[in-house]
Structure 1
């Protein structure tokens, strides 16, 4: 299972560059097969409430959020993930970290090129921009 975490200030060296000069870094957990890979990956990502991923230096921007997986659906090259709960961001740099951690984890699990994350039925970008 592949989960994504944030390398703060890495400027795209270790993975895809996201806002504020950070990178997303893929991490692997044990080889497991699930009926729904998206559910397993997103649930594992949301279950981690630690700010830092061990001693790796990678940051978990989702640590303060209280979200739970509801469902996911793949349509063509887009995976849509529905979550319930509350997103907690500590500012403008955290917003893209949160969004991209979820999107890249979902896209990798689903094998798609795009992801849409909905929180309480609303796009996560809109949820964050209204805070």
Structure 2
């Protein structure tokens, strides 16, 4: 299962560049059996409450959030993931980190090129702008 974390301030060396000079980096976990790969990947990401991923130097911008997977659906090459709970962001640099972790994890799990993340029915971008 592939889950994405953040390489802080590495200027895109470890993966695709996201906000504040960070990169989004794929990590692999052991095999998990779920009816839905999206559910498995998103639940694995959201259940991790550690800020740092072991000794890897990677950061989990979602560690302070209390989010839970509800459902997902794929249509026209876009995976839409519905989450519920409380979203917590440390500010302007954490916002793109959170979005990238969620969208990249969902896209790889679903095998799509685009992801839409909803929290209690509200788009993640809107949810973060309300913080």
- Normalising by the smaller structure, the TM-score range is over 0.9
Q: CA deviation at 1:32?
A: 3.3
- Which residues of structure 2 form unaligned runs of 5+? none
1:60 paired residue number: 60
Report 1:31-50 matches (<5 A): 31-50=31-50
Q: CA deviation at 1:33?
A: 4.0
Partners of 2:68 and 2:117 in 1: how far apart? 12
* TM-score (norm. length: structure 1): 0.98
2:104 paired residue number: 104
Matched pairs, number: 131
Any idea what the Cα deviations from partners look like across 1:18-61, whole Å, max 9, x if unmatched? 00010000000013343200000000000000000001010000
1:115 paired residue number: 115
Partners of 1:35 and 1:121 in 2: how far apart? 23
* CA RMSD, Structure 1 to Structure 2 (Å): 0.7
Partners of 1:11 and 1:79 in 2: how far apart? 28
Structure 1 counterpart SS, 2:24: strand
- Counterpart contact for 2:9–2:23, Cα < 8 Å: yes
Partners of 1:52 and 1:33 in 2: how far apart? 25
- Which residues of structure 1 form unaligned runs of 5+? none
Please identify runs of 4+ aligned residues in structure 1 that moved more than 3 A: none
* TM-score (norm. length: structure 2): 0.98
| Mean Cα deviation higher: 29-38 or 111-120 | 29-38
